[in-house]
Amino acid sequence: MNLKKDNLRILIVEDDYFLAKGMAKLIQRLSGFRVIISHKLDEVFQLCQGKEVDLIIMDIHLPEADYDKKNVSGVDISRFLKSNPQTAKIPIILITAYAAESERESLLNISKADDFYPKPIIDYDNLVQSINRLCGRQEIK
């Protein structure tokens, strides 16, 4: 696959560091994208509001994510980001081991996210294609 060479900045929000690191390496190898990893909400919001990311890949289950002293999920964070005019246009891909493909539509409706992948992600080529599509990148002929 031959794509435009502008470097996208992908933020992976995942509480399992080793899983996030593995995902980042695969995405970087397949696409050349710059990948940032974080599970800290203040850093996630800062990066998003500072326009430092082009797309977010976020786990739904984030046991250490607290906002206003309440535990929040990736679904909550996605809704918050999509409701904020500063961050609403950032595409969000949710990932989880706790929902099946059959739950895709309801999960996307509830979260306002742009796409969903069940974990484990098996087809990283397909994930990279989704990233390109959501970021408006076209294949070079």
Report which secondary-structure segment, H or E, holds 55: strand 55-59
In the chain, the percentage of residues whose pLDDT exceeds 70 is 91
Average per-residue pLDDT in the chain?
A: 90
Q: How many CB atoms lie within 10 A of CB 126?
A: 11
The continuous run of DSSP H or E covering 35 comes out as: strand 34-38
**Which domains can be identified in the chain, with CATH numbers?**
9-134 (3.40.50.2300)
Q: What's the pLDDT band for 138 if we cut at 50, 70, 90?
A: low
Chain centroid to Cα 2, Å, comes to 22
24-49 core/surface letters (b: 16 or more CB in 10 A; e: else): bebbeeebebbbbbbbebeebbebbe
pTM of the complete model: 0.90
**How high is the pLDDT of residue 3?**
45
Grade residue 4 by pLDDT with cuts at 50, 70 and 90.
very low
The half-sphere exposure of 4 on its side-chain side, counting CA atoms within 13 A, is: 10
pLDDT digits (tens, 9 = 90+) for 81-107: 999 999 999 999 999 988 766 788 899
> For 63-81, what is the mean pLDDT?
89
Each residue's pLDDT tens digit, 36-58: 999 999 999 999 999 999 999 99
